[in-house]
Structure 1
Amino acid sequence: MKQSIRPTWFCALKRHFRLAIKAVFVSGIISGAGLTVPMIAEANVTSVTVTPKRANVHVKGASALSLTWNVTRLEPTAPATVPVSSTNAILQINGTNVATLGGTLLRQSTLNPAQSETLRFSEVLSISSALARKIAEAPAGSVLISRTFTDTQTTGLARLSVFAGSGQGGALSINRIDLRFDNDARTDVIAKGDTRRAIAEINFRSSGLLKGEWRIIDPTASLGSARGRILQVVRQQVVSSGQGRTRIVSPALPTTKNGLYLLTFSVENAEGITELPVLRYFVLETSTKRPADNLTALSPGNGARVNQDTVFAWENVPGALAYQVEILTPGHDEVVSGKVVSAQDLKLKLSAFSLDNLNSGESYDWRLRAFDKSGRVIGSSPRQLLYMP
């Protein structure tokens, strides 16, 4: 049998081919259609983290956030020096990019095979007052700041959560309740059978289930009844990444009985509120006529210049259950502000009024009225002039 003689280079090529095939089967992935080519190992950004993971900004005004980005990378094959960089940070609300922050961060990374290192990039990001307002108004947990880093081969991303104020998704806290009627009055006299509603403006921090109750004391109850009866139970989910605000409208208020009504909105988680605000309103018969000017006002004098410390004082009217001080536009019956107090009070400071609608440099009329337990007007004072300097 004749032996086949092959050149040395042919045998070497054959051995190389066999090793290559073996490497493909060891490193590759077998699929139904054949073999996929094995991936060539490259330099990698293996992780990106940021410190801190949560940050707070001021609800009002600008803020500065000090951040440190940590980029870890691995060089698996050959010695190399590569740039590791990030163009800018992104502020994102509800998945939408709303602003770019900061500038380019850049460092060189030099590694030998199988080495890894962590590069630290420190920066201070400026948050404007306009962006702070957007953050405060955003739903809880929806505000993120992110940066993407690359080493020219692969990329990595890190994010931190941003909140306004001191809220970081903690328990819901109610810190302010403001009550008014739907005609913007803080105290009112309503004709029997008319419709009126109240509005509660509530400031809160963080997010959660707001649990509240509209409560009312009607003319059949004692003025000493602190809590009254429940007019409506309110359950409303509120969300904010910091300071939030919500508006709750009452059901139609009862106006079927003459007399004085006291209305409030009580809530859970209101540790920051020492006293709940109370709205007062009187219900009168539509046929009620204004009596003669038989209520004597003691102060201030007609045409007096007033300030928040000015005291309205008057003489007692027998049979009165409550008194009302009204501030009106001069010569008209349009009520600008007012206050209803129980019969035990015969004086009232101007600071007790809602002064939002009283303008400096303008004159107003004011008068007093007395009501009995049936809601009838049993006393009235002449209109007098006052001036807000």
Structure 2
Amino acid sequence: MNRPALKRSAKIGYRLALLCLLALGYALPSSAQEVELCSSMQPCSVARPVVIGTDTTLSVVWRGRAFFDRIGDVSSDVGYFTLGDPASSEPLGMVRRPLMERISGSADGQPTAFSFSETLTVPAAISTQAAAQGARELSYVRPFSVNGIPVTGVQTLRLADPAAPLPNTARSLPENSEVTASGLILRRLALRFDDGAPVASVSRDEALHAEAIIHYDRAGLLEAVWEVATPATTRGQPVFRRLDNVREYLGAGQQSSLRSPRLPTDQPGLYLLRLHLVHPTLEQNGTREPNDIVLRYQVSSRSTHEAQWVPHLNGARAVAATLGADTEFTWPAIATTHAYQLEFYAQPPEPDVADERPGPDRVPNRFTREPTTGLVLKSNTRSTRLSSAVLHRLEPGTTYSWRVVAVDASGRVLAASPLQTLRTEEE
């Protein structure tokens, strides 16, 4: 074959290869299209603005849709704040709090819509820095993994000038009502559990949250305290202790909801929960009403954890002398595993069990503290290196305890490797 013919053949081969690559490129997004997050059909939302120069706590709602095989995982290691295009802007600050939600799939194999809330605090320094650059909005960005598919969620946070006139200030005050410094007037408070019921009965260690529905006029700062009375005192005169502080700006609107922190369920017996209003208090017919709305929930002695000690996951190891970007973690397969969790602890964790250890071939199901960071990996994964989000949470010159955990489709722990330690390099 002469040289021109060879050149023509090479060109034809190149074009065919390019067409194949383009076809593959157009085919790949089809799987990504199975996942929606913060889309026009599944919009994410933040109801309240960020008050410039004030630490502002918001309830951020993430919404999406995806195909899930029985139970799927939606996880994110880190979030960050930016101005302008999230893809090209430098982060103003990081939120180093992992999120993980387990979503039950549809029985008919159709896409499942999901939503969950994140309690987000925007530091005063972030909003001040954004305002100094002339911004009226702030972007809150989280890279998520939905069934192992990477997808990014972006929330738009409005910035509010604390010196600007408050929304709804045109409303006239009811006769005999006191004008508060914030202008906020609370009309009604209702408490309920996540399922909408006024009472709840759960197993020991089961996750439980409550919600406060607040009806109000005007706008301003709400200060309150979630308080709980445990079974140690509810048999007689209840003694309430602080569970969490609430400090949230309520803007334009007439209704808002506050989600409680996770409620204690570690002891069997009766618990009482209330939201104690510090400022302002309820207004009814021109007089202040006491905050005596209380929720009751009963915790049974049966634990939701099937086993406190689980079998060894033997053979998990780290192929490196130090902990870093090149460290490879490997482990063997465990039958019926739905996902693997790689967990890191900055402090040596203590087993969350009261019984004596049943034998040397078993390890704790869980510990008294949550992991500092980690990864959730698909069931066919046998090795991994750390993502940049995980590496960002590791401090230099620090020794971390780590382990690999195998869980089934219901989230039950099947096996876990014994704790091992690795130290990050000094800066």
Same fold (TM over 0.5): no
- The structure whose Rg is larger is 1
Where is the strand percentage greater, Structure 1 or Structure 2? 1
